[in-house]
Amino acid sequence: MRGIPESERNVAGLTRYIDDRELPARSLFARPVPAPCARGRLLGIDASKALALHPSVQVLDARDVPGENQVGGIVSDEPLLAEGEWGYVGEPLALVLAADRSLAREAAALVELRYEELEPLVDEREAAAAGSFILPPQSIASGDVAAAFARCAVVVSGRADSGGQEHLYLETQGAIAEPGEGGGVRILSSTQSPSGVQRAVARVLGLPMSQVEVEAPRLGGAFGGKEEQASTWAALAALGCRRSGLPVKLYLERRDDMRWTGKRHPYSTDFRVGADAEGRLLALEADFYQNSGASCDLSPSILARTLFHAVGAYRIPEVRVTGHMCRTNLPPFTAFRGFGGPQAFFVIESALDALAAKGGWDPVELRRRNLLSEGDLFPYGQAAERCLARATTERLLAKSRWAELRREIDEFNSSHALEKRGAAIIPICFGISFTTIFMNQGGALVHVYRDGTVSVSTGAVEMGQQVFRKIQLVVARELGIPESLVRVAPTTTGSVANTSPTAASTGSDINGMAALAACAEIRSRLLAVAAARLGAEAGELALESGEVLREGAPTGLGWAKLVAEAYLARTDLSAHGFYATPGIWYDPKAGRGEAFAYHVYGCAAVTVRLDALRGTYRLESAAIVHDGGDRIDASVDLGQVEGAFAQGAGWSVLEELAYGARGELRSDTLSTYKAPDITFLPELEVEFLEGRPNPKAVMGSKAVGEPPFMYGIAAYFAVLDALRAARPDLPAFYDLPMTPEKALMHLARGRG
């Protein structure tokens, strides 16, 4: 990211996160009192020892909530402070305030709880068997699936399980709440959803939203974990502020963050897939059992995307897929990069792997034969437009020298008994839009100051993905000025209201288009001023490189002078822009609609080397061909693809959440939860498909945040390919992540 000022500040350690902010005098620190077991009934709280510790200590419980004791968004099933029964280890039961962080922690440990422990549900299959669901199941169906299976020459059934994933953002959850004017409150929150936090805090405090202002400074990472879940911690800080009348800071330590916050949803899925004698896919059935955790959070929307992506990058004419939201006694699972898509991709790729093995087909050829083509219908009725599934896959196969690589691997495996190599490809097709249609909207406020500098405010939150950089470039290009003149202001609900979360890979699309609309209005006003000054028609003029051009020729009227003259002429140099993604709709009852503005395509190949004695392996190489449209900033997009691949590969073969039978998280430190590092990553080559602009997004670009995550799934199937070479006598298994322990147990099966 050389040359990007914001990145240079980050590298130099100059960026200030919430925990770096100086606090006003007399500020208090907040510490939740967590539920000690996965499920229990609260009988009483004795805070006397905590209160005796220091005069600054205060202890709040559900009775102190002035408004509604509820932060659940889609379903009101998530109290801010539990009253009666609680549902997971770490659920806040009370809130301690004290003069410093250590004192708050000490006081919280002295709060005594009287409770009855209840039997928890931890596994999604057990929850389903017990009838423990959050909402009724969701389904998408197309065609006559039973008749299609009757026509199949080869049918295979199986089960695919995928585990959760810890977000591991660098900055943990946190918020600072300060009293505002007139009884209001101002929140500094590490959130992807300022308006979501604003709504939750207003609800809890019993205030109108106009009395709650939320600022989201630059976040130290989020990956979805700060979309819905930031509301709880901000609302707790706000409650402490309201009751104490003082500024309150709440900031989680790493281990507490890992124990108490939600993660990627684990899934367990039954699948059935069939093809004709030539290997053309005819039918797919799948039942997805989503471990939703103790409350709803965003589970319905995440499950909806799972169903939307159930066929991956393939054409399957007859489909029936159903998703079940299983309520368990684990922290509510939440958004994570891919938002339900990765779980779906793992299932369809597992189904095709099993089908290829049963039908005797080459796994890559089976995938090529069934790739989406232009005009093919997704199961929800939308047609594939500007479909690049085949273009990206064929380019990837050529780039990776796939046929030659396959021969090299087979030759290596035939001559090495204790080492095996493996390789796999995965094509992707990922839809871009919020699956909740009304969320596809955003606003922007642009000010041009009389010295020619520009400030732009949008609903986009910067969390390391460089959305501010892209918006800066969009504004500079639309106004025809150097990017150095453009500042993207911190995101606040006071500047832009009713923002959608920065999520679903839509941050640049929606907010960039809103900023573009505002700039277009200002540019039109400025060109009218220039036309009067030059005695020209506005249509003859353009703004480029900081100067007014007339039919392409310089006029001598520069940007700064034009702005100054416009100001003196009493021209409005501010504009609000608004964008709502056009053409999208979805009827959930019918399971039909134009759910996405467009799709992103791509393909990845991964090779691995397996120690067939110990079960350990390393990723050797990865090649990716990605459909990125016209990139606004090529270096940003490259970084996003590389980072998403690393995160996806980590989920696939490395990162394992381990819960005990009583619902306690055992992998709650970085010594027990293994995350990717630089030594884990393979040699990686990324190529962007050129010359394919996207007319459905800002300046011909395409979203790049989430789609590349799916490339990492190829690592699972590459290891599986190596395991097959080592133990061709055993059937494959589909249980992600493919940890070395699982590989070793597979290698040792039947060998005493």
Instruction: List, by residue number, the catalytic residues.
Output: 706
| Whole-angstrom distance, CA of residue 619 vs CA of residue 563 | 55
* Distances 724 to 477, 654, 711, 720, 721 between C-alpha atoms, Å: 53, 19, 21, 6, 5
Say if residues 348 and 310 touch (Cβ distance below 8 Å).
Answer: yes
Neighbours of 16 (CB within 10 A): 12
Say if residues 187 and 215 touch (Cβ distance below 8 Å).
Answer: yes
What stretch of H or E contains 63?
A: none
Q: Counting Cβ atoms within 10 Å, is residue 56 exposed (0-12), middle (13-18) or buried (19+)?
A: middle
b/e per residue 457-486 (b: at least 16 CB within 10 A): bbbbbbbbbbbbbbbbbbbbbbbbbeeebb
**93: nearest Cα among 74, 69, 76, 72:** 69
**485: nearest Cα among 532, 545, 435, 436:** 545
Say if residues 634 and 696 touch (Cβ distance below 8 Å).
Answer: no
b/e per residue 503-517 (b: at least 16 CB within 10 A): bbbbbbbbbbbbbbb
Around 430, how many Cα atoms within 13 Å sit in the side-chain half-sphere?
Answer: 34
Query: What angle separates helix 634-653 from helix 714-726, to the nearest 10 degrees?
Result: 40
| Whole-angstrom distance, CA of residue 293 vs CA of residue 298 | 11
DSSP structure class, residue 266: P
DSSP structure class, residue 55: T
Please name the residue that has the structure tokens 């070793």: 744
| Whole-angstrom distance, CA of residue 184 vs CA of residue 355 | 60
- Evaluated on CA atoms 420, 424, 306, 680, the torsion sign reads positive
b/e per residue 329-360 (b: at least 16 CB within 10 A): bbbbbbbbbbbbbbbbbbbbbbbbbbbbebbe
Q: How far is CA 296 from the centre of its chain?
A: 17
Say if residues 492 and 451 touch (Cβ distance below 8 Å).
Answer: no
| Whole-angstrom distance, CA of residue 169 vs CA of residue 643 | 13
* Distances 428 to 36, 286, 307, 641, 732 between C-alpha atoms, Å: 42, 19, 15, 13, 22
Neighbours of 44 (CB within 10 A): 8
Say if residues 654 and 619 touch (Cβ distance below 8 Å).
Answer: no
What stretch of H or E contains 53?
A: none
Partners of residue 544 on adjacent β-strands: 547
| Whole-angstrom distance, CA of residue 516 vs CA of residue 456 | 10
**Phi, psi angle pair for 245, to nearest 5°:** 75, 10
**Phi, psi angle pair for 202, to nearest 5°:** -60, -40
Where helices occur in 319-460 by DSSP H, the ranges are 341-359, 363-369, 389-399, 402-415
**382: nearest Cα among 312, 283, 303, 308:** 308
- What's the start-to-end Cα distance of the chain, in Å? 53
DSSP structure class, residue 220: S
**How do the residues of the chain divide into helix, strand and coil, expressed in percent and rounded to 5?**
35, 25, 40
